């Protein structure tokens, strides 16, 4: 709810000023110690200006197979972090 409120305030402020600021979303959480020693890996994509829901869906779906393959490869190499 707080993220949604902040996003709406950013959008409304941009409309008043006549521009659209870039929006970056991060999910940060503590995964506990069970994955200690595992390298951290960030994943993201650059969205075009005025990105449509269809474009976003296509971009996220394009990440699915490569990330699945990478994750399975890591899991098969060391399954302590599954």
Domain that holds residue 8: 2-35+43-81
Residue 75, pLDDT score: 82
pTM score: 0.49
Low-confidence residues of the chain, pLDDT below 50? none
Distance (Å, rounded) from C-alpha 31 to C-alpha 29? 6
Distance (Å, rounded) from C-alpha 73 to C-alpha 61? 19
Residue 27, pLDDT score: 64
**Phi and psi of 24, rounded to 5°?**
-115, 130
Residue 20, pLDDT score: 73
Number of domains in the chain: 1
């Amino acid at each position: 709810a707080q993220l949604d409120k902040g996003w709406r305030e950013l959008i409304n402020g941009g409309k008043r000023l006549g521009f659209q600021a870039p929006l970056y979303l991060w999910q940060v959480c503590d995964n506990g110690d069970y994955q200690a020693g595992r390298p951290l890996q960030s994943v993201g994509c650059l969205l075009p200006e005025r990105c449509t829901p269809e474009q976003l869906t296509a971009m996220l779906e394009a990440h699915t197979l490569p990330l699945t393959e990478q994750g399975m490869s890591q899991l098969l190499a060391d399954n302590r972090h599954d």
